[in-house]
Chains A and B, each alone.
Chain A
Amino acid sequence: MKNTTEYAVYAGKRAKKSDLLPDCLRAFLTGGLICAGAQGMSELFLSLRIAEETVRILVPMILIFLTALLTGLGIFDNLAGFCGAGTLVPITGFANAVVSPALDSKNEGLVLGLGAKLFSVAGPVILYGTSASVVWGVLYWALGQLR
């Protein structure tokens, strides 16, 4: 191992990677469980004759609330360590990405702490998510004009 790149290649090769199959399986099962639970709630609310439009807001609100609560209690990060993408991909991941910096920076004040750091993790998702939807909107409109 004489030079820098040779060592980096050697170290990269010997480093154990995350176990993809069990990680995927856990993500599939736990993510599926969260979504099935949300669907169950949705069915329940509909059966209670709550308007569909309200149910569509109510279910994500409950998921966001539960995530915020579990994050605040210091439980969510342990759950996420097990579930991986299972908790990251549903709205739970987004909620945790907003609540955790809020908790972290509250001691630095409401404006320059919490306010400035609130979207430090979720910010890129919002930026590129909305940008992508704008681009897709323009394309959709252009395609419609061609027809």
Chain B
Amino acid sequence: MEGNNRKSGIIRLKRCPSIIGHAAAVGKKEHEGPLGAQFDYHDATDRFGQKTWELSEGEMQHIALNLALAKAKVPADSLGALFAGDLINQCTSSSYGLLDINAPFFGLYGACSTSAEGLILASLWMNSTESGSAAVVTSSHNCSAERQFRFPVEYGGIRTPTSQWTVTGAAAFILGDGQGAYITELMPGKSIDRGITDPNNMGAAMAPAAVDTLTRYFRESGMKPSDFDAIFTGDLGFEGHSIVNEMMCADGINLSDNYLDCGLLIYDREGQDMHAGGSGCGCSASVLSAYILPKLEKGEYHDILFVATGALMSPMLVLQGQSIPGIAHLVRITKERNL
């Protein structure tokens, strides 16, 4: 790794791994959304053939990983390592869902930032080992998340305009040295708490973390937002996306039109009654697989920033009156290995 000075925090990879295979499996609402046709697999019942929502989420990860492995033509037991995460306590969707994948396993929790966290760790793994490949899988399931973080699935209540809808989706990425988009730079995020206590306004809780990571990145790389084809934040939704625009502008960095948010891309917010947009570990991951990477592979994009954002929220701590910290990890993905 070059330029690994402590001040910058930007990690420039010496061995830039390429994403040699990727796939996304989603639920009904995601399939009905604007990106519907681009996902590799969907289940209209959201159950994926399983009896409980937690097992459904695990199965969704399993499907996504197997599809990605097949595309990459990598047998599961040759994976150097598997980095997987979800929103469920003890990371069970990942550990149970991927039980039969015979590869060294790391369970991750970074809330909705887990996709970028996994890509960062897998890239570092590739740079510090002789491994030929590593996999990253993340997922979220609306029903398992509702149960754990909010109310029973069938409980009827009104959602506030700033609330986001947890995406039912999983995506897997196989990192290797073959054909595919390249991961060239990383910037791990810091957890930042700016005092938001409303669990129905996750966008506002995560926005300061996204601003911190992006500001540090632009300041320290000397680049401008317009140097990139697009900048994607994880799942800030309408509220967080607007806050980031405002705060960055106040900081003298104009993000302009090439700043997009995965939480805004995955659903038709008005038509599907999604309030502020989508969220969850499966949101940024499935948008990366179904929307962003294909554009890089086709050459529509050459250089993008992928900044997955997470609200490190615990329902218990919120009840204890604590505010919600956010985190945002940055991954720079390019079409060519050498910029």
Q: Spell out A's residues near B (CB within 8 Å).
A: 1, 4-5, 7-8, 11-12, 14-18, 23, 71-72, 74, 76-81, 84, 87-88, 93, 96-97, 99-101, 103-105, 107, 120-121
Contacts and interface: CB of A to CB of B under 8 A. Distances in A.
A93 B201 CA distance: 25
A96 B154 contact: yes
Contact of A12 (B157, B198, B208, B247): B198
Interface stretch (B74-82, B131-139, B145-153): B145-153
Contact of B243 (A11, A74, A87): A11
B61 to A, nearest CB: 19
Interface residues of B, number: 32
Nearest to B55: A107
B154 A77 contact: yes
A105 B155 CA distance: 13
Contact of B161 (A8, A16, A76): A16
Given A12-B198, A14-B242, A17-B161, 14 more contacts: A4-B323, A5-B195, A8-B194, A8-B197, A15-B204, A16-B162, A18-B158, A71-B156, A74-B154, A77-B153, A81-B156, A81-B273, A96-B156, A100-B155
A84 B158 contact: yes
Contacts of A77: 153-157
A79 B204 CA distance: 29
A77 B159 CA distance: 11
A101 B155 contact: yes
B152 A81 contact: no
B247 A1 contact: yes
20 contacts: A1-B247, A4-B194, A4-B195, A11-B196, A11-B204, A11-B243, A14-B242, A76-B154, A77-B154, A77-B157, A79-B156, A81-B158, A87-B156, A88-B156, A100-B153, A100-B154, A101-B152, A103-B152, A103-B153, A107-B51
Task: Tell me whether chain B's interface is mostly helix, strand or loop, or mixed.
Answer: loop
A105 B207 CA distance: 34
**Which 4 pairs across A and B sit closest by C-beta, in order of nearness?**
A80-B156, A4-B195, A8-B195, A11-B204
Most buried by A among B153, B198, B208: B153
B201 A11 contact: yes
Interface of B: 51-52, 147, 151-162, 193-198, 201, 204, 207-208, 239, 242-243, 247, 250, 273, 323
B120 to A, nearest CB: 26
Most buried by B among A5, A7, A84, A96: A7
B195 A15 contact: no
Nearest to B273: A81
Nearest to A96: B156
A121 B239 contact: no
Nearest to B194: A7
A93 B196 CA distance: 30
Nearest to A76: B156
Contacts of A74: 154
Contacts of B201: 11, 15
Nearest to B146: A104
Nearest to B243: A11
Contacts of B239: 14-16
Contacts of A23: 158
A76 B152 CA distance: 12
Contacts of B198: 12, 15
A11 B204 CA distance: 6
Contacts of A18: 158, 160-161
Most buried by A among B51, B152, B162, B194: B152
B313 to A, nearest CB: 15
Contacts of A121: 151-152, 155
B63 to A, nearest CB: 21
A7 B196 CA distance: 8
